[in-house]
Amino acid sequence: QAKETGRNLYQFYSPDMNERAFERLFLDSDLHRALARNELELYFQPQIDLAQGHVVGAEALLRWNHATKGQISPVVFIPLAEESDLILDIGGWVIEEACRHARQWHDQGYTDLRVAVNLSARQFRSDLPDIVARVLHETGLPAHLLELELTESLLMERPELARTILNKLRYLGNHLSIDDFGTGYSSLSYLKHFPIDRLKIDRSFVKDLNVDPDDAIIVEAIIALAHGLRLNVVAEGVETSDQFEFMRQRGCDEIQGYVVARPMPADDFLRYLQKSKRQTES
């Protein structure tokens, strides 16, 4: 049925077509032009080391500045891009752009500042290490300053391929972290088999920390698990000072969230760095 419709193009515009699918169709064709039209932009959200209070890194988060619809969330357009190889072009651009910015911070004297990039399952192919190596070479960013964020499901889909790729990335010197930890299709054994550096505690556990005792238990368990395995642990989506204090007291290594700063354009992020540097110096 779907194939029939595909061949019969005029049916796309039949009146019974629901509005959302219609909207999607347009977004999808716009998205194919977004890169060429310079409509994609990386925002950066600081990650703070709780022991020192320093900015130690930033997560690169993609934004689409659509010409007529305004800014569109990655939650909306990444799944669209993932339906085709478009995600490979977009994902490659994200790696390049993130490394280019991190190299600039490095040149401005922030020599230890990491940048973290989110990867899609479709990017997780055997050519990924070559792409990363080329970008590092071209931008001159030291490999240990690039962190790649993976999800549990991405690793579990094809564990053997994943292991080969992760070993190569690790060999290059990249940092590897598990995003949204605890929400995926979890098999903790992968923590033993994959060369992972960090766990990112998902925001869903952080959100109700001070009202739901179960979430507090889960967060404590993740911190203990990470430290037991000699992994670094980051809490994401920390919004309140209570949550901040909870993480500090429980020995979570780093936090990221609105309580510190929202994701921001590159220029603002550089100003943010300069401001926090002056604060720690005075």
Minimum CB–partner distance for residue 7 and Mg ion (Å)? 39
Minimum CB–partner distance for residue 263 and ligand C2E (Å)? 5
Alpha-carbon gap, residue 232 to 223, rounded angstroms = 9
Q: Is 179 in the site for Mg ion (CB under 5 A)?
A: yes
- What residues make contact with ligand C2E under the rule CB under 6 A? 45, 61-62, 73-75, 78, 91, 94, 118-120, 149, 179-180, 203, 236-239, 256-258, 263
| Closer residue to ligand C2E in complex, CB, 30/59 | 59
Of ligand C2E, Mg ion, none, which one sits near residue 75, judging by CB under 5 to 8 A according to partner kind? ligand C2E
**Binder to Mg ion among 30, 97, 147, 149 (CB under 5 A)?**
149
Task: Give the residue carrying structure tokens 């990039």.
Answer: 117
Minimum CB–partner distance for residue 18 and ligand C2E (Å)? 25
Give 191's contacts (C-beta < 8 A, 6+ positions apart). 225, 229, 231
| Closer residue to ligand C2E in complex, CB, 110/124 | 124
Of ligand C2E, Mg ion, none, which one sits near residue 61, judging by CB under 5 to 8 A according to partner kind? ligand C2E
Of Mg ion, ligand C2E, none, which one sits near residue 258, judging by CB under 5 to 8 A according to partner kind? ligand C2E
**CA-CA distances (angstroms) from residue 162 to 95, 151, 167, 169, 266?**
19, 11, 8, 10, 31
What distance lies between CA 26 and its chain's CA centroid? 26
Give 267's contacts (C-beta < 8 A, 6+ positions apart). none
Alpha-carbon gap, residue 121 to 125, rounded angstroms = 8
| Closer residue to Mg ion in complex, CB, 30/162 | 162
Of ligand C2E, Mg ion, none, which one sits near residue 159, judging by CB under 5 to 8 A according to partner kind? none
Alpha-carbon gap, residue 47 to 63, rounded angstroms = 19
**CA-CA distances (angstroms) from residue 169 to 141, 146, 174, 214?**
14, 10, 6, 36
| Closer residue to ligand C2E in complex, CB, 4/267 | 267
Interface characters, 48-87, with Mg ion (x: CB under 5 A): ----------------------------------------
3-state secondary structure of 142: coil
3-state secondary structure of 162: helix
**Residues paired with residue 55 on neighbouring β-strands, in sequence order:** 48
Candidate segments 2-10, 28-36, 144-152, 211-219, binder of Mg ion by CB under 5 A: 144-152
- Residues numbered 110 to 139 that lie near Mg ion (CB under 5 A) are 118
Taking alpha carbons only, the member of 245, 193, 196, 194 closest to residue 219 is 245
Q: Which residues bind Mg ion (CB under 5 A)?
A: 118, 149, 179-180, 236
